[in-house]
Amino acid sequence: MNYKKFPDNFIWGGSIAAHQCEGAWQEDGKGPSAIDYLTGGTFSKARRVTKEIVEGEYYPNHEGIDFYHTYPEDIKLFKEMGFKALRISIDWSRIYPNGDDEKPNQKGLDHYTQVIDQLLACGIEPIITLFHFEMPLHIVREYNGWLNRKTIDLFVRHCTTLFNEYKGKVKYWVTFNEINHLDPSCDFDSIFTYMLAGVEYDVIKNPKQDLATIGYNMTLASAKVVAAAKEIDPSFQIGGVFGLTCYYPQTCHPADNLQAFFDTNRDFYQMDTFVNGIFPRYKLAEYEKNGIHLEISEKDRQVLLNGKVDFLGLNYYSSSVSPSVVVKENEKIDGVLAGISNPYLEASDWGWKIDPVGLRYLLNYLDRRYHGIPMIITENGLGAVDELDSNGKVHDPYRIEYLRKHFVEMRNAIDDGVNLMGYLMWGPIDLVSATTGEMKKRYGFIYVNKQDDGTGDGRRIKKDSFEWYKSVIASNGENLA
């Protein structure tokens, strides 16, 4: 083993999610999903949930980038770059349009069969996310999403359908994307709470208790799904994906260091359960102090123990600074959305701090915390404003620079002994932003000619970073120039 190099079988590729790219929101029997009721937003204007589809409102996920129809050509472009894997999600509302239907929708299953077959034909390993913010609206409205334990059974049934349908073709599965954004300390009316929890704001009566229950129910659902998968095919590899940021203390005061530890740690309680099979004692202690009660039966404990994951997926974009507990209030905040600025780091146009060393730190931290568990970077990338020049080309040296620095730190982490299996760049083709609903926030190696005002012909154009990533993959990470 040469620790200075990426391993020979390193999985280079990309990551996308159904609701952000497919469009075709009413095609082939798909039911409406929670996301279909989210309007577009911007950096300064939050997306909104509407009760009905309102005429004249813009719902960016209804069209996405039309990947539902363009996937054969788009996958060919991924193949041209040399992708070894593509992480996609399967939209629950295409398979069970209402979530509780008696039978799955055959057209939905057939669609994903074709996508998976196309990937395999191109030599690209499919990695499937089972829940990436895609919940049938009927479950939101009739069951209150993950607040209700019945949703767990419906989800397990949905996943079991997929395991039986795609076994032999798909080996890698991910139960949930970023459930760590659900915690009693979160804003219950944030967009992430709606997208993840599948619960409308007015249903949440006791935010702290309800958010704890939702976070717990999803953790239990993941364990049940892992057990169901292993029963169908013990060779399946099942993981959980977490969106992490490392928090730096604002000062070197010991109290600030402790606060930074607690802030970083907030994202770990579900991950600890996924990996160790035990709901952590520190979280129960926190709940008790805050008057939060969880019903964890002996049966649940067994379920958690039998549902441990095989690998972890890390979504990493930026780091944060933990607000000081000793610095005066008026010296703390310098931008509501961007948080406290770190004088050592630059930020993206959307205020996300660019911190490649933070990636090395987190990879090492996870490695030590979970005793060398296999990891994949399941998302990473730079959301930027890309523009076509007068020759119809997109020059994106800033993206190449961002990725190069992160790849150097990945290599350093491998040299540190971290068991890193792969890297999947987020949004290898431009798609709808999850947090703002914009097309303007572009991540891709491939430009999609579609603008937020509805103009553009949807044409795919290779950016400069396309050739660069191709040469990175061809050289297995040797050639980063």
Residues that are catalytic? 178, 379
Q: Of residues 235-274, which lie at the interface with ligand BGP (CB under 6 A)?
A: 243
CB 268 → ligand BGP: shortest distance, Å? 17
Answer yes or no whether residue 32 interacts with ligand BGP by CB under 6 A.
no
**Secondary structure E strands in 220-273:** 237-244, 247-249
335's CB contacts (< 8 A; 6+ apart) are 341, 351
Q: Is 386 in the site for ligand BGP (CB under 6 A)?
A: no
When the beta carbons of 286 and 386 are compared against ligand BGP, the nearer one is 386
Tell me which amino acid residue 51 is. K
Residue-by-residue DSSP string for 408-458: HHHHHHHHTT--EEEEEEE-SB----TTT--SSSB--SEEE---TTS-S--
Indicate the residue among 20 and 324 with the shorter CB distance to ligand BGP.
20
Residue 87 binds to ligand BGP (criterion: CB under 6 A): no
Please state the closest distance from residue 325 (CB atom) to ligand BGP, in A. 27
- Number of residues this chain uses to bind ligand BGP (CB under 6 A): 14
Closer of 161 and 435 to ligand BGP (Cβ): 435
Give the shortest CB-465-to-ligand BGP separation in angstroms: 17
Binding of residue 435 to ligand BGP (CB under 6 A): yes
User: Which of 85, 267, 241, 271 has the alpha carbon at shortest distance from 175?
Assistant: 241
- Give the residue with the Cβ less far from ligand BGP, 165 or 178: 178
Site for ligand BGP in 351-380 (CB under 6 A): 379
User: Site residues for ligand BGP, window 440-479 (CB under 6 A)?
Assistant: 441
Of residues 243 and 277, the one with the C-beta less far from ligand BGP = 243
d(CA 335, CA 48): 22
Helices (H) and strands (E) counted in the chain, each on its own, are 15, 14
- At position 253, the amino acid (one-letter code) is H
Of the candidates 81, 76, 161, 169, the residue with the CA atom closest to the CA atom of residue 120: 169
Is residue 434 part of the contact set for ligand BGP (CB under 6 A)?
yes
Rounded CA-CA distance 339/253 in Å is: 20
Task: Give the residue with the Cβ less far from ligand BGP, 411 or 441.
Answer: 441
**What minimum distance in Å lies between the beta carbon of 422 and ligand BGP?**
17
Single residue of 63, 74, 91, 178 touching ligand BGP by CB under 6 A: 178
- Give the residue from 462, 372, 433 showing the smallest Cα distance to 41: 433
Environment class of 142 (CB within 10 Å of its CB; exposed 0-12, middle 13-18, buried 19+): middle
| Dihedral angle over CA of 249, 251, 256, 262, nearest 10 | 0
Q: Are 159 and 225 in contact (CB under 8 A)?
A: yes
Q: Are 74 and 67 in contact (CB under 8 A)?
A: yes
17 contacts ligand BGP (rule: CB under 6 A): yes
CA 116, 429, 76, 315 torsion-angle sign: negative
For ligand BGP, the binding residues in 287-326 under the rule CB under 6 A are: 315
Smallest distance from ligand BGP to CB 267, Å: 12
Q: Could you tell me the two tokens for 307?
A: 């549902």
Q: Show the tokens assigned to 428.
A: 């290898």
Binding span for ligand BGP by CB under 6 A among 105-113, 227-235, 304-312, 435-443: 435-443
Build a one-symbol-per-residue string for 391-430: x at contacts with ligand BGP by CB under 6 A, - elsewhere: -----------------------------------x----
The window from 35-43, 269-277, 393-401, 433-441 that contacts ligand BGP (CB under 6 A) reads 433-441
CB of 46 to ligand BGP, least distance (A): 12
For ligand BGP, which is the closer residue by CB, 70 or 436?
436
Q: Which residue has the tokens 């074709």?
A: 114
The interface with ligand BGP within residues 329-348 (CB under 6 A) comprises: none
CA distance 199 to 203: 7
Q: Which one of 33, 70, 177, 319 is in contact with ligand BGP (CB under 6 A)?
A: 177
> Is the Cβ of residue 87 or residue 411 nearer to ligand BGP in the bound state?
87
Structure tokens at 244: 């992490």
From 193, 322, 433, 465, residue interacting with ligand BGP (rule: CB under 6 A): 433
- 260 in Cβ contact with 154 (< 8 Å): no
Q: Which positions lie near ligand BGP, rule CB under 6 A?
A: 17, 20, 177-178, 243, 315, 379, 383, 426, 433-436, 441
